[in-house]
Structure 1
Amino acid sequence: MMVEAGGLVEQRKDTMTMRHVNSKVRYVNKTIKKLRCKKRKRPVVPRVPRLLQELFVSCREVFKGPGNVPPPFDVDKLRSILDRMKPEDVGLSKNLHFFKAAGAVTGTPRVTYTTIYQCDEFSLCIFFLPANAVIPLHNHPGMTVFSKLLLGKMHIKSYDWVDQVHSEDPVPPSQLRLARLKADSVFTAPCDTSVLYPTTGGNIHQFTAITPCAVLDVLGPPYSKEDDRDCSYYRDIPCSAFPNGETTLSEEDEGDRFGWLEEIQVPENSQMDRIEYLGPQVAENSL
C-alpha cells in the first residue's frame, strides 16, 4: 500500500474535498468534564496507548533501511504487537458512523488513508475502505509489509512471482508473467496480522472491502519513487485462459494455483484521499 507519491496514493490538496472526506471518518472524542475547582490545573497530556508506542519503538529498532529484511525473530516481535492491537489503540471505535454505514454508494467508493508516522526507514498508516471499495492489485518492491485488519470484513487476493527478475533485466510491461496464488480468502476483524516480504508472502495483493474496513499497515521501508520503490499495478488472468502457455512446474508446485499477471497503467480507482491523523500521537523522544 502506498503512503506517499509514486503510485497507490495521492494527496488531495482541494480543501473542500478534504473537508468532505474527513467528515466520513472521525476519531473517538473523549468528553471533558468541567472542573468545579477554581484553581487552575496543569494541562493534561494524553497518554500514548502502550501498544502503539511499543509498535513505534520496535519499528525503530527493527527496520534498518532499504535492502534489509527483518530476521524472523524481529518479524515475530512486530507481528505479536500488531496481533494484540485494537481499534482503540489508534483512536478508532466500531461505533463510529463510518463503520455502521449502510445502503448503496453512488459511484466508485474512494479509499482514504492517514499517516500516523513516517520516516525513511518505515511508516505507520491506516487505510479506510468503504463497503465495496477496492485497492487494486499492486506490488511492494523491496518492502516488508505488516497488515492488521482492525475493523470490518475484507477479501484479500495475493500473488508471488514464480520466477524472480533481476532489476538489470526488467520485464516489458505488456508481457505476462506467471505468479503463484498465495491468498484468496475473506478475513474478518479481529484476525491475525499478515506479513509480506520483498519476494514472498504475497507481495502483490488486492483488497476488496465487504463491509467498511480499517487496516493498519506497517511498511518498511515506505514507497519512494526517488529510491526506485515505485508501485506497479496488475490484472490477473487465470492460467486456464491460456491453454498453449506451457510451463514446467516442479512436483512441489503440484496442487498450487497460478495466474498470469499483466502490468497495467495506474487504475483510476487507485487514487486515494489523504486525511489528517487525529488519533493518539507516538512519543518520538522515547528512545
Structure 2
Amino acid sequence: MVVDAGGLVEQSKDITTVKHANNRVRYANKPIKKSNRWCKKRRRKVVFPRVREVLRLQQLFVSCREIFKGHGTVPPASDVNKLCNILDKMKPGDVGLSKNQFFKAAGAAIGTHPRVTYTTIYQCSEFSLCIFFLPEKAVIPLHNHPGMTVFSKLLLGTMHIKSYDWVHPKHSMPSSRMRLARLKANGVYTAPCDTSVLYPTTGGNMHEFKAMTPCAVLDVIGPPYSKQEGRDCSYYKDYPYGDGETTAVREEEGECLGWLEEIQVPEEAEMDRIQYLGPQIIQNTTTC
C-alpha cells in the first residue's frame, strides 16, 4: 500500500493509472464524434473552457503557491480566509465537471462499498490539489492528516461528514489502544456549501466521508502526505464514550466525546486514480 501525495491511499504497484472513461467520470468537454460519410469533410469543433473557469482555478493555484510554506507550517488566518473566499465561489465547471450525472459506480460488489476514484490537478512538496469522486454509498473511512492543513470544498452531491480532534493531554483507555477524541462535526452537507478547513490539531483533523448521493470533493492539502516527513495516513474506528461501556456518545461538559482505535488500512480506503482532463493551470518558470 502506497500513500500518494495527491490522495489518501493508492493501490500497490500492480495497479496502474486508470484511463479516463465516461462510465467513471464525465467532464464538461465531451469528445466529438467524427462523421463516417466520406463525401463531406467537417471541421472538428474545438471546445475551450470558459475564461472564468480557467481564472478561478488559476487564482486558486497561484494563491496556494504563495500561502503554503511546506513542512511544519500552518497558514495564518488571513491566508485561510483568502483561500476560503476563492473556494467558496468555485463550481463544478471550474474544474471541468458536467452538471449532469458525472460518473457511475462501477465494479462494486453486493454488500461492499462502491470504489472511490480521485484525480490530481497539481501536486508539489508544499501542496496538492485533487478531486475525490464518491458514488452513492461510497465511503472514505475515518483517517487523519498529521501536520497538515486541508481545505475541502463539496462541489457536487450530498454527503455525511464526521470529524474528531484528539483530547489533550493524551487520554487513553487503560490496557487499550483507544484514545479519547472530541467530536467536531457529525452532519449532512449538500453542495453548494461553505468550504471546511481542518488544521494539524483542530478543526476535525480526523474525518470520514459517506456519500448519500454521487459526490465530488475538491481538496487543497498542504503539505501533502509524506512518510519521509512523518505525515503518513492512519485510519481509525470510533466507539461510544463511557469507560469501555457500550453506551451512546454522551455530552461531557458540553462536548461530545468518543474513543478512537487505530486500525489497519480498511478495504474501502483503496481508490482508483484517473487522469485529470479539466482546465489546465499555467505554471511559470518559478516552481514550488
* TM, length-normalised to structure 2: 0.81
Aligned to 1:207: 209
In the TM superposition, what is the alpha-carbon distance from 1:6 to its structure 2 partner?
11
In the TM superposition, what is the alpha-carbon distance from 1:286 to its structure 2 partner?
8.2
The alignment-based identity, stated in percent, is 68
In the TM superposition, 1:149-168 aligns within 5 A as 149-164=154-169
Change in CA separation of 1:45 and 1:227 when aligned onto 2, cut-off 3 Å: same
Change in CA separation of 1:21 and 1:175 when aligned onto 2, cut-off 3 Å: farther
Aligned to 2:222: 220
Q: Deviations over 1:64-119 (max 9, x none)?
A: 00100000000000011000000000000221342799xx9674200000000000
Conserved in 2, the CA contact under 8 Å of 1:87 and 1:93?
yes
Q: Does 1:79 align with 2:84?
A: yes
Change in CA separation of 1:164 and 1:224 when aligned onto 2, cut-off 3 Å: farther
Runs (5+) with no aligned partner, structure 1:
166-170
Conserved in 1, the CA contact under 8 Å of 2:177 and 2:261?
yes
Conserved in 2, the CA contact under 8 Å of 1:153 and 1:213?
yes
Larger RCO (CA within 8 A; separation ≥ 6)? 1
Aligned to 1:285: 284
User: What is the alpha-carbon root mean square deviation over aligned residues?
Assistant: 3.8
Aligned to 2:37: none
Q: Give 2:270's aligned amino acid.
A: Q
In the TM superposition, what is the alpha-carbon distance from 1:182 to its structure 2 partner?
0.1
Q: Helix, strand or coil for the counterpart of 2:103?
A: helix
Conserved in 1, the CA contact under 8 Å of 2:24 and 2:105?
no
Aligned residues: 271
Conserved in 2, the CA contact under 8 Å of 1:27 and 1:93?
yes
Q: Give 1:275's aligned amino acid.
A: I
Aligned to 1:274: 273
Conserved in 2, the CA contact under 8 Å of 1:9 and 1:273?
no
Q: Does 1:197 align with 2:199?
A: yes
Q: Helix, strand or coil for the counterpart of 1:49?
A: helix
In the TM superposition, 1:126-275 aligns within 5 A as 126-164=131-169, 175-240=177-242, 242-243=244-245, 254-275=253-274
Q: Deviations over 1:171-207 (max 9, x none)?
A: 9995111100000000000000000000000000000
Conserved in 2, the CA contact under 8 Å of 1:110 and 1:269?
yes
In the TM superposition, 1:9-28 aligns within 5 A as 9-11=9-11, 18-19=18-19, 23-28=23-28
Change in CA separation of 1:6 and 1:28 when aligned onto 2, cut-off 3 Å: closer
Change in CA separation of 1:65 and 1:163 when aligned onto 2, cut-off 3 Å: same
Change in CA separation of 1:93 and 1:44 when aligned onto 2, cut-off 3 Å: closer
Q: Helix, strand or coil for the counterpart of 1:51?
A: helix
In the TM superposition, what is the alpha-carbon distance from 1:234 to its structure 2 partner?
0.5
Aligned to 1:168: none
Q: Helix, strand or coil for the counterpart of 1:61?
A: helix
Conserved in 1, the CA contact under 8 Å of 2:20 and 2:274?
no
* TM, length-normalised to structure 1: 0.82
- C-alpha separation in 1, matches of 2:58 and 2:174: 43
In the TM superposition, what is the alpha-carbon distance from 1:7 to its structure 2 partner?
8.7
In the TM superposition, what is the alpha-carbon distance from 1:5 to its structure 2 partner?
6.3
- C-alpha separation in 1, matches of 2:279 and 2:124: 18
Change in CA separation of 1:44 and 1:139 when aligned onto 2, cut-off 3 Å: closer
Q: Deviations over 1:148-180 (max 9, x none)?
A: 000000000000001155xxxxx9995111100
Which sits farther off after the overlay, 4-13 or 18-27? Answer: 4-13
Change in CA separation of 1:12 and 1:112 when aligned onto 2, cut-off 3 Å: farther
In the TM superposition, 1:62-77 aligns within 5 A as 62-77=67-82
Runs (5+) with no aligned partner, structure 2:
35-40
Q: Deviations over 1:113-146 (max 9, x none)?
A: 0000000000000000000010000000000000
Instruction: Give the structure with the higher percent helix.
Output: 1
Runs of 4+ in 1 over 4 A off after TM superposition: 11-17, 19-22, 30-34, 43-48, 171-174
